[in-house]
A and B are shown apart, each in its own frame.
Chain A
Amino acid sequence: MDVLRLATVLETLPRERTRLLDNLGRLRREVGPITPELSDALADHMRLRHGDVHEVTSFYSFLQVPVDAVRVCTGPVCDSRGGREQLGAGAIEVPCLGHCELAPVVLHGDEVVGGVTYSTNDGASLGLARRDETLADYERRGGLALLREPLALERIVAELSASGLSGYGGAGFPTWRKWEAVAAEAGPRYVIVNADEGEPGTIKDRYVMELRPHLLVEATLLAARALGAMEAYTYIYIREEYATARARLTAAIEEFRAAGLLEGLSLDLVVGAGAYICGEETAMLESMEGRRGMPRLKPPFPSQVGYLGRPTLIQNVETLAHVPAILRNGGDWWAGLGSPATGSPGVRLWSVTGAVARPGCYEAPNGIVLRELIDGYAAGLVGEPGAIVPGGAASGILPPAALDVPLTREALTEWGCGVGSAAVQVFPKSYAPLRLLAETMRFFAEESCQKCTPCRIGNRALHHVCEELEHGRAAMSRRQVEEWLDAMTLTSICGLGQAAPYPVRNAFERWPELFAPLGPATLGEPASA
């Protein structure tokens, strides 16, 4: 360790606990991987306990590895396309790097090996195919008008309500309700953009940030102004692996600042350090406050008690990015982009990856039929499909027979699945469902924050059960497995543990023969939330 370098960097680091994660990231980039000595030096500088910094440092995957490390993605899509073969000496295995359309993905430092290409379309709401290079580009397309002549909050809430926009991070909570709830609380309030996209197979937020960063910045500022977050602060919490998105957002924010559009507002990036769970909103708040990213007990919800105990609007990148189009053209117009009559208003970004001809990120109507999405946007299937995951790791597993299902909450519920983050992953027939299931459970086990028993132990056990089944062995009986799944769904603190059982239950249903060694299924309804 270069002690002189450390002393110089330390001097410049802020002492507020909320800056702990940022400080650790800077130390890692500018001095080296965080060792116990570095951690203690930072703790002394920030007047924190050594243990506090130890707990935080060890929680994240990347703080103790060099910045130029080779990171190999072994998420399900990459694994099905030979990701593990890329694992060389010294390489670090990472569950999902968010570039699944380029699978298998390897990062060398911040760079994606082989470069990044985009495959998208020119949708009416987000128009990702036309990339904004500068703020002027963005303004020429009609951007900034809303920021210059802000609408009243009531009008915004009314338009959002008419649009039917709901959270696209996975939970699907109606957006207007969130805005209304936060506005109803006494200020000051915070606005936080959740750009910690980490759901395997999901690439959409990265597309928005890399192709249309100004759009996201404007949408964020609109929210801040509408909610009177004037004197307070606005943050974008972005995952560490998204270096390009980070650079583009930083540049865009600077352009806004130079143009005087940040007057009275503060917009900062908070960079994660490799922890899927920090995409869970309360875990994100903990992470931002300088603690381990372990979810809080709810209620209270962040709209009441959020960042630093203040009412906080937390929105996913894509959700927020749709807001300017809705406000410009009206909620009804936006709803009409989908099929509001059938309960699927508006459009969303679908990340389509795996065994398709043109993997990428496409804006398409809500409720689109799976086959239409694959054929009409991703240029069709490649080879014979096996398992299809409709919306991210916990959204469940569909069989090829479900290709003609409309991707709506209702239709997918019938298949025991959910739309989740709209990350459609097509696996080739050669990729065994049990392998997919084992990989999925391994992912949940490794990403579990360890706070609650059912998630902490249940996911590890299920991973083991799946691996044993691959060898035809039963680690637990079917009855026991189902009891454990129930306990996970019902007693886990956050969505990770609550939703992790879905793919297992789907597989029970879809491929009962694979689970024969576990013995007979029990009678009775599985627990539902």
Chain B
Amino acid sequence: MIEFTLDGRPASAQEDELLVHAAARNGVFVPTLCHDDKLDPYGGCRMCVVGVEGSSRPLPACATRVSAGMVVSTNSNVPQLRKTLTEMLLSEHLNANPGGRPNELVDLARELGAEAPLVLPDAKREPYADRNRLMGYEPDTCILCNRCVRYTQEVMQCSALSLEGRGPEARIVPTWERSWLDTECELCGGCLSVCPTGAIYEKFLEGAGVEERQLEQTKTTCTFCGVGCQIDLNVDPETKRIVKVTSKPEYVSNEGDLCVKGRFSFNFVHHPDRLTEPLVRGEDGELHPATWEAALAAAADGLKGVIRRHSAQAIGVLASARLTNEENYLIQKLARIGLGTNSVHSCEAT
């Protein structure tokens, strides 16, 4: 631990800790917009500038590391600078909420009492319509913090988004303005999850217009594969239906990252065709609700019948990609010892 001074009070930090974290642990919240702990420090939005003794200009807390004896101030001219920078961002922020995602810029403006003194005449950006059904993008909500682009480059290592151009025409677009479907993008929605203003958002009809913050969150484990990503099911309090899936950076197995299935494929939960109880086909050829005991007994009888008539080698076991390692282990045990067949496969292998 090292000692430093924060707003006139002694404070401690870990060696080389980012100032923004050290300040937070010492009870001083420094606002950020372009910063994301998953990404390399960028220092672009400048919202987090703080005074540091010995530096002629304030320094970005998101990209400055604490050193022993450092004297840091968030008073003096820092509040005014934050307010001015917020005004600047608002002066081209034409659409504050295209898809119901949280907008940190609007929150900050409210907190600081900042309003745009003018609307920049060149604020309007060319609209972007993408034919994919999952993610939408509203350029007029973008503050060019570049988090989404850096996320695709640094975390996903893919080419989905670019910071295009220079000067007033600069904007963020899918690579060469193609549809995301025609880039390397796998529609994981990571860009959307790091966007501080909600410029990239879920395109769902259900729950559209309900602010993400008004949704009830239930933490659970994604069922799509064995990784065990931790997710939050966001439920509309009125309809009690899941309207979106989010995740948080502090969730251990996936650190807030999701894949296209985990983030976007939850509609099966409410689908009328979804099986919610065991069904067994009766003599009449129709499926009838049954207890688990009866259903498992029927399955066992069926399998035994096959072994009797054609030998165990006639059976192959195909495991679901959704299973965990442990479940896969049990499957092969069931196949080899229980059923007596070596034909075991997982659809994950294809």
Contacts and interface: CB of A to CB of B under 8 A. Distances in A.
Nearest to A40: B176
Contacts of B276: none
Interface residues of A, number: 48
A491 B48 CA distance: 10
Contacts of B80: 483, 486
A59 B44 contact: no
B57 A52 contact: no
Q: Which of A297, A445, A475 has the most CB of B within 10 A?
A: A297
A292 B163 CA distance: 9
A50 interface: yes
Interface string A434-448: 000000000001111
Nearest to B123: A460
Contacts of B167: 445-448, 450
B105 to A, nearest CB: 11
B121 A464 contact: yes
B88 interface: yes
Contacts of A430: none
Interface string A258-278: 000000000000000001010
Contacts of A527: 77
Interface string A401-423: 00000000000000000000000
Contacts, number: 139
Contacts of B56: 529
Contacts of A475: 118
Contacts of B143: 453
A457 interface: yes
Q: SS class of chain B's interface: helix, strand, loop or mixed? A: loop
A445 B168 contact: yes
Given A297-B60, A483-B80, A527-B77, A450 B166 contact: yes
B281 to A, nearest CB: 51
A476 B85 contact: no
Q: Which of A58, A446, A458, A480 has the most CB of B within 10 A?
A: A58
Interface in B62-100: 63, 77, 80-81, 84-85, 87-89, 91-92
A276 to B, nearest CB: 9
A374 B134 CA distance: 65
Interface stretch (B153-161, B202-210, B253-261): B153-161
A49 B153 contact: yes
A26 interface: no
Interface in A43-94: 49-52, 54-55, 58-61
Interface of A: 36, 39-40, 49-52, 54-55, 58-61, 275, 277, 292, 297, 445-454, 456-458, 460-461, 464, 475-477, 480, 483-484, 486-487, 490-493, 498, 527, 529
Interface of B: 41-47, 49, 56-58, 60, 63, 77, 80-81, 84-85, 87-89, 91-92, 117-118, 120-122, 143-144, 146, 149, 152-153, 157-168, 170, 175-176, 178, 183-184
Closest CB pairs A-B (n = 10): A51-B159, A49-B159, A446-B167, A36-B176, A487-B84, A457-B88, A51-B175, A450-B170, A491-B46, A51-B162
